[in-house]
Amino acid sequence: MKTPVAGIVWLVGAGPGDPELLTLKAVRVIGEADVALVDDLVNPAVLTHLRPGARVIHVGKRGGCKSTPQAFIEKLLVAEAQAGHTVVRLKGGDPFVFGRGGEETAALDAAGICWEVVSGITAGIAAPAAAGIPVTHREAGRGVAFITGHTRDGAAVDWEALARSGLTLVIYMGITHCESIVAGLREGGMRADLPAAVIQHATLPQQRVIATTLSRLTADIKHHGIGSPAILVIGEVASAAQLTAQTLIHHAAVA
């Protein structure tokens, strides 16, 4: 039997939701794939770029299935590439921003498999933008920090230090722990009336935006029933949140 020539793994960012926010390169490599391993935040419309006959393996946890263990995904990537296939690993947003891309490339390196990353538009930029919020601004936001509100080992993020940094805070996966995040930021000296925004399902037709303040953030999320996926933006720039028909719940108390 001939030894198969090892294939390649493309780690492709599928962007925040709107399928038009894919890069041209993503569209090209998706079209070249023999098999696609797909996370569940990837819009199914993206899969229309696959060629007929390409296999699709869903490895996400939404839609009723339990999340596929990361180690299994890594083994599958290696096995498919070793079988000589062109593999596309499709991830929401950007593969290297809270996407476990680094874990997967390490596994591929260990197995001697070639890989390449196709950057995607990360939700931390696209979601604020979709609500009209620039994450940096010459007057109001001299820099931006991308932070996870949910650490794997439960290790605490130093919210007090971040509060003192003066950076715009863009928080992924922040809904569940919002209350303790806000408490940490207040302890670090952030003003109660500092502008804050929440963008759920950004760039999709069901997008919802809340414009509020730091102290009202948790109550507003609860009141409006906002769940994942959502991005929190905390900082002066969040005051730019746009009032767009149907998409914005603008808190009356924000003046």
Q: Which residues bind ligand SAH (CB under 6 A)?
A: 16-17, 41, 91-94, 97-99, 122-123, 127, 172-173, 199-203, 228-231
Q: Give the number of residues written for the chain.
A: 255
Q: How deeply is 10 buried, as exposed, middle or buried, from its count of CB atoms within 10 A (0-12, 13-18, 19+)?
A: buried
- In 3-state terms, the chain is what percent helix, strand and coil (to 5)? 30, 25, 45
For residue 103, CA distances in Å to 6, 11, 77, 99, 202 come to 20, 12, 12, 9, 26
**Least distance between ligand SAH and beta carbon 84 (Å):** 28
The residue among 16 and 141 lying less far from ligand SAH, judged by its C-beta, is 16
DSSP label at 24? H
Min separation Cβ 149 and ligand SAH, Å: 8
Query: Taking a C-beta distance cutoff of 8 angstroms, is the pair 233, 169 a contact?
Result: yes
State both tokens at 227: 């769940």
Residue nearest to ligand SAH (CB): 93
Shortest Cβ distance from residue 193 to ligand SAH (Å)?
24
Buried b (16+ CB within 10 A) or exposed e, 195-216: bbbbbbbbbeeebbbbbbbbbb
* Smallest separation (angstroms) from ligand SAH to the CB of 174: 7
Least spacing, CB of residue 224 vs ligand SAH, in Å: 14
Active site residues: 39, 61, 173
Between residues 41 and 240, which has the closer beta carbon with respect to ligand SAH? 41
Rank residues 85 and 91 by Cβ distance to ligand SAH and give the closer one: 91
**Residue 122 or 213 having the CB closest to ligand SAH:** 122
Q: Which residues pair with 114 in a beta bridge?
A: 8
What does the DSSP assignment read for 133-198? --S-BTTTBS-EEEEESS-TT-PPP-HHHHHHH-PEEEEES-STTHHHHHHHHHHTT--TT-EEEE
Closer Cβ to ligand SAH, 129 or 173, answer by number: 173
